[in-house]
Amino acid sequence: MKILVGYKRVVDYNVRIQVKPDGTGVVTDGVKLSANPFDDIALEEALRLREKGVAEEVIVVGIGPADLTAHLRNGLAMGANRAIHVVTSDAVQPLTSARAFLKLVEKEQPGLVILGKQAIDDDANQTGQMLAALWDRPQATFASKVEIADGKATVTREVDAGLEVIEIQLPAVITTDLRLNEPRFIKLPDIMKAKSKPIDTIEFASLGVDAHDQLKTTHYAAPAKRSKGVMVKDAAELVATLKQKGLL
Amino acid sequence: MSKILVIAEHLDGKLNPSTARAVSAAVAVKSEAVDVLVLSDKVGPLAAEAAKIEGVSHVLTIARVENAHPLAAILAPQIAKAAAGYSHVLAPSTTFGKDVAPRVAALLGVAQVSDVMSVEGSHAFKRPIYAGNAIINVEADPSHAVVATIRTASWPAANSGNNSAPIEALNVEMNLPTHTRFVELKQGKSDRPDLQSANKVVSGGRGVGSKENFEIIYKLADKIGAAVGASRAAVDAGYVPNELQVGQTGKIIAPELYVAIGISGAIQHLTGIKDAGTIVAINKDAEAPIFEIADIGLVGDLFKLIPELEQAIG
């Protein structure tokens, strides 16, 4: 079985996001970029399934500009067998991304597609569900445990009410939540090895995907700040203040 | 003129309060109708409950045995079919809505607006990106239906009681997929208020120190009738189960009173509480970032302060 893994490059989660003063975007020049944390978890899960003998090949997929190659090399260094780079200089919205993935799925025929539940830049949380719909296959979103046997996956999902367990037939789409695993660190020899692993490049335009954006972002703003509060000296003063506000 | 379909969320035969919050957002679009769609195996009591929500024009029901559990792959094709003639399909931005709405959007061939915070026009919305560190204005193409999820913390629940919207059963004839099967839901059992919708929440962080020590958080919460929450650090340390996690990667909540105890205030936690009415922080470290956003701060040892608080509350 092949596993396709979505591997998006985003602004590193430790970067404090600044909105440009003219409201046209967030500052990304000179800012550290890293793999989307949920995608690292997706790749780790795929690698573990390969190590268990459930899968033979793990393919990382990136959609982005020419310089995305270095990012995909990190995925290869982590352990993916090969990479597919869909080249476009445009930002790609989730529906378009799902349509592009579908083309790759039709070509590669994976038994499983594992994506992060959301990317930490646009926080859309859509692409996996959309791909599953377009592919007409099962989805197991927000996965915290995956077990595969007899052509089926039993997936534990983190839902608001607790943990939901569902059983899905493969092929299918799984999206990862934080608790699924802890991704491994890349070791230096693996970085060397990754240099000889193949990266297929495909021009986005050659996929024949409708890339018409239905959503336009017209303005960016910093969130409203909460005003600084007061400090109280002891428990009695805290309780008195809360009672005064009618909160106790 | 627009017509809106709101997808009802429910569990154990009761509507989730997120449904009435999504109705509030639907009403803000100023459409000619706001209809609520209930999918279940037993729709009766749920439909009756939805019909009472103010602002609802009609309640539509699809009763099928396959709808006993909220499986996106099974619900989405039915919702997509019921959506014909509607300009907007809205669902709460809970794990339920986040799971099903994009699947509906893809079946309809339209983009989705996630986590709507405010309605700026029939096709214009505000939503957070970068964990709420930037807010964007998004415009959807008016020639397509809009599918959107509603950030529940940004919207009050629409009032219930003074309405009796007509209820209509939809007969959706279609074969549903059999590739997805519900196995079980493991719920954290609790007599306490639900964290997502509680008016008061008491949360503990790593500073609480252990699973055993967390008892004092539960005790204080029970004393003031609050739900219990936790920071990701406390969840990761194994003090409490994951469903209590508050923050960007857990629950985003907006209680009237939020009491953060032994929580330093990582950005990802603050994102989950910034719509709270009053934030109280108790921490021994006066430099903790939680004090930057707290309305009322108290520096000190939580193991000494909590008993004092309980005594002062009386």
Task: Please write the tens of the pLDDT for every residue from B259-286.
Answer: 999 999 998 899 889 889 999 999 999 9
Q: What is the pLDDT of residues A106-118, one digit of tens each?
A: 999 999 999 999 9
Mark yes or no for CB contact B103/A162 under 8 Å: no
Biggest alpha carbon–alpha carbon distance for chain A: 69
Q: Domain end: B169, B188, B214, which one?
A: B169
Question: Between B102, B133, B296, which is nearest A129 by CB?
Answer: B102
Nearest Cα residue to A94 out of B109, B246, B122: B109
Buried b (16+ CB within 10 A) or exposed e, B88-123: bbbbbbbbbbbbbbbbbbbbbebbbbbbbbebbebb
Taking the model in full, what pTM does it have? Answer: 0.92
Q: Going edge to edge, which strands form the sheet with B180-187? A: A199-203, A82-87, A57-64, A2-6, A112-116, A172-176, A139-149, A152-159, A162-169, B180-187
Rg of chain A in Å (alpha carbons)? 21
Same domain, B33 and B164: yes
At B189 the pLDDT is 66
B152 is a domain residue: yes
| Residues of chain A contacting B144 with CB distance shorter than 8 Å | 214
* Residue B172 to residue B190: CA distance in whole angstroms: 37
Share of chain B above pLDDT 70, in %: 99
ipTM higher than threshold 0.90: yes
Is residue B131 within a helix (H) or strand (E), and if so which, with residue range?
none
Task: Identify the residue among B287, B296, B299 best suited for mutation to test binding to A, counting A beta carbons within 10 A and taking the highest.
Answer: B296
Pairing relationship of beta strands A57-64 and A139-149 according to DSSP bridges: unpaired
* Residue A18 to residue B240: CA distance in whole angstroms: 34
Contact by Cβ (8 Å): B206, B264:
yes
Share of chain A above pLDDT 90, in %: 91
* Residue B155 to residue B233: CA distance in whole angstroms: 28
| Residues of chain B contacting A178 with CB distance shorter than 8 Å | 249
Angle at Cα B241 formed by Cα B182 and Cα A167, nearest 5°? 15
What are φ and ψ of residue A74, in 5° steps? -60, -40
B142 is a domain residue: yes
| Residues of chain A contacting B293 with CB distance shorter than 8 Å | 226, 229
Looking at the complex, report in whole angstroms how far the Cα of residue B206 sits from the nearest Cα belonging to chain A: 18
B192 is a domain residue: no
Interface of B with A in 36-65 (CB under 8 A): none
Q: How many domains does chain A have?
A: 1
* Residue B23 to residue B160: CA distance in whole angstroms: 11
> What CATH code is carried by the domain that includes residue A32?
3.40.50.620
CB pairs under 8 A between A and B: 234
B185 is a domain residue: no
CA atoms within 13 A on the CB side of A165: 11
Q: What is the pLDDT of residues B84-123, one digit of tens each?
A: 999 999 999 999 999 999 999 999 999 999 999 999 999 9
Distance of CA A125 to the CA centre of its chain: 8
What are φ and ψ of residue A235, in 5° steps? -60, -40
Q: Does any CB of chain A come closer than 8 Å to the CB of residue B169?
A: no
Average pLDDT over chain A, rounded to an integer: 96
| Residues of chain B contacting A163 with CB distance shorter than 8 Å | 185-186, 242-243
Mark yes or no for CB contact B312/A241 under 8 Å: no
Q: Does any CB of chain A come closer than 8 Å to the CB of residue B237?
A: no
Same domain, B156 and B247: no
Closest chain A CA to residue B279 = A229
> What CATH code is carried by the domain that includes residue B298?
3.40.50.1220
Same domain, B97 and B47: yes
Q: What is the pLDDT of residues A229-248, one digit of tens each?
A: 999 999 999 999 999 999 99
Contact by Cβ (8 Å): B253, B153:
yes
A74-78: average pLDDT: 98
Q: What is the pLDDT of residues A43-65, one digit of tens each?
A: 999 999 999 999 999 999 999 99
Q: What is the pLDDT of residues B178-223, one digit of tens each?
A: 999 999 999 876 778 889 889 999 999 999 999 999 999 999 999 9
Local confidence band at B151 (pLDDT 50, 70, 90 cut-offs): very high
Task: Identify the residue among A159, A170, A175, A213 best suited for mutation to test binding to B, counting B beta carbons within 10 A and taking the highest.
Answer: A159
Distance of CA B236 to the CA centre of its chain: 22
* Residue B246 to residue B279: CA distance in whole angstroms: 14
Q: Which residues pair with residue B35 across a beta bridge?
A: B5, B58
| Residues of chain A contacting B177 with CB distance shorter than 8 Å | 136, 138
Nearest Cα residue to B227 out of B255, B250, B189: B255
Q: Domain end: B169, B187, B215, which one?
A: B169
Look up the domain containing B46 and give its range: 3-169
Same domain, B79 and B223: no
Q: How many CB atoms lie within 10 A of CB B216?
A: 18
Tokens in use for A36? 């989307």
Is residue A161 within a helix (H) or strand (E), and if so which, with residue range?
none
Same domain, B20 and B162: yes
Q: Domain end: B148, B169, B190, which one?
A: B169
Average pLDDT over chain B, rounded to an integer: 95
Tokens in use for B204? 């503990």
Buried b (16+ CB within 10 A) or exposed e, A45-61: bbbbbbeeebbeebbbb
| Residues of chain B contacting A128 with CB distance shorter than 8 Å | 102
B178 is a domain residue: no
The SS3 call for residue B216 is helix
B112 is a domain residue: yes
Q: How many domains does chain B have?
A: 2
Contact by Cβ (8 Å): A222, A109:
no
Same domain, B204 and B107: no
> What CATH code is carried by the domain that includes residue B33?
3.40.50.620
B181 is a domain residue: no
